[in-house]
Amino acid sequence: MTCPLCTTDGGLVVARAPQFRVVRVIEGEEARRFPAFYRLIWAEHVAEFSDLSVTDRHACMDAVTEIERVVRALLKPTKVNLASLGNVVPHLHWHVIGRFEGDSHYPAPIWAPAQRDAVPVLAQPLTAVDAALAQSFTIATRSTG
C-alpha cells in the first residue's frame, strides 16, 4: 500500500522544514466546515510519535505548539483541537484545528454529526495565517540551521 502522505503534500503547503511540512486542509467537507484546519506532517515515514528520537519529538511538539500559537493569535478561536490519530493513514501527522463557537459541530468533536449548517466567520483571511506560519517556520529554520 502506498502512503498518501509520502506521495502527496496532503494539503496546501504553507511551511516546510527539513523534518516536516505544515499544510492547510483545502479540500473536502473538512475544509468547508473547519477552515482553520492545519496539519503538521512528518517528512520521514514513521507511524508513531514514539518512533521519533527525543530531539525530533521535541521539534515536532514545538512545531505543533507554534501552529496553535499562530492560529490563536490571528483567528481567536474558541478552542484549538490537537490530535494525532493516523488510523486511516499510518504516517505521523498532527491535526491542529481552530474551533469556533457556532461552527457546524461545536462543541462536539469534528467527527460527530453536524449540529447545524454553519461555517465560521474568521477574524483574518486564512492567507494571513498561512503567511504568518510560513514566516514563523522560516525564522525557526534559520535560527536552528
Q: Whole-number mean pLDDT of the chain?
A: 93
Q: What percent of the chain has pLDDT over 90?
A: 83
Grid coordinates representing 107 are: 462543541
| Backbone φ and ψ of 38, nearest 5° | -115, 155
pLDDT classification of 88: cutoffs 50, 70, 90: confident
- pLDDT above 70 (res 48): yes
pLDDT in tens, 102-126: 899 999 999 999 999 998 999 999 9
In CATH, the number for domain 4-144 is 3.30.428.10
* pTM as predicted: 0.92
Grid coordinates representing 144 are: 536552528
Q: Among 47, 7, 52, 43, which residue's Cα sits nearest to residue 22? A: 43
- Burial classification of residue 134, based on how many CB atoms lie within 10 Å of its CB (0-12 exposed, 13-18 middle, 19 or more buried): middle
What's the Cα-to-Cα distance from 5 to each of 29, 61, 105, 109, rounded to whole Å?
Answer: 19, 19, 27, 24
